[in-house]
Structure 1
């Protein structure tokens, strides 16, 4: 299929987000306004799908919508904003690394508790 002519429904299906969310991202300036077919329906390009995948990655990793919106504005400015975009991504990466550290500490605490319970069950001959 030619990705140069994907409808909003096709983009929604491929990306896993609703058409409503795509319209919202467009209204918020996160997605550039889609091109339109002769019948007025939105038509998306390869670049739109790739950008949406990156936006969803930022969202999935906890970047606030306001920051994603700011990043999108900077992206639209082109090379002049490269330094600021880099700084934003570096700050986000630092926050993500801190979250990963916290999650790993939580996983270790859970492992300790699981080990304790398994030991208690083994001592009594019970099974989980």
Structure 2
């Protein structure tokens, strides 16, 4: 089992130590272990969870919604349908945003082609 210090975890997930501490404080990373000196020891599961948080945040999900998803996940299989519904709704928002961005990209490309 690999353990990461906060500096190592920060480097691994490309987030600042401050952000990791903030996520922990906000309940997005509720189970980060600490050693006898109080130093954080991130495990592989924590690293994967942070990656998923980055994915959701990067695609527009709020930290409040991400925390809600994490709380549902922590409740196990009985909350699967609620979790899945959240992800399906989020996927629809992502797909709509992609459609809008593709439209904007075409406009930008048309301007480039004009060479004015």
Q: TM-score, normalised by structure 2?
A: 0.94
- Runs of 4+ residues deviating >6 angstroms: none
Q: Give CA-to-partner distance per residue, 1:47-66, whole Å, 9 cap, x none.
A: 11011101101011111111
SS at match of 1:63: coil
Name which one, 1 or 2, has greater alpha-carbon Rg: 1
2:109 alignment partner in structure 1: 111
2:36 alignment partner in structure 1: 38
Match among 14, 17, 23 for residue 15 of structure 2: 17
Is 1:97 paired with 2:89?
no
Structure 2 residue ranges without an equivalent (≥5): none
1:6 alignment partner in structure 2: 4
Structure 1 residue ranges without an equivalent (≥5): 121-128
Partner Cα distance (2:113, 2:64) in 1 = 42
The alignment's C-alpha RMSD in Å is 1.1
Q: How many residues align?
A: 116
Q: TM-score, normalised by structure 1?
A: 0.86
SS at match of 2:106: helix
SS at match of 2:47: helix
Partner Cα distance (1:34, 1:54) in 2 = 16
2:75 alignment partner in structure 1: 77
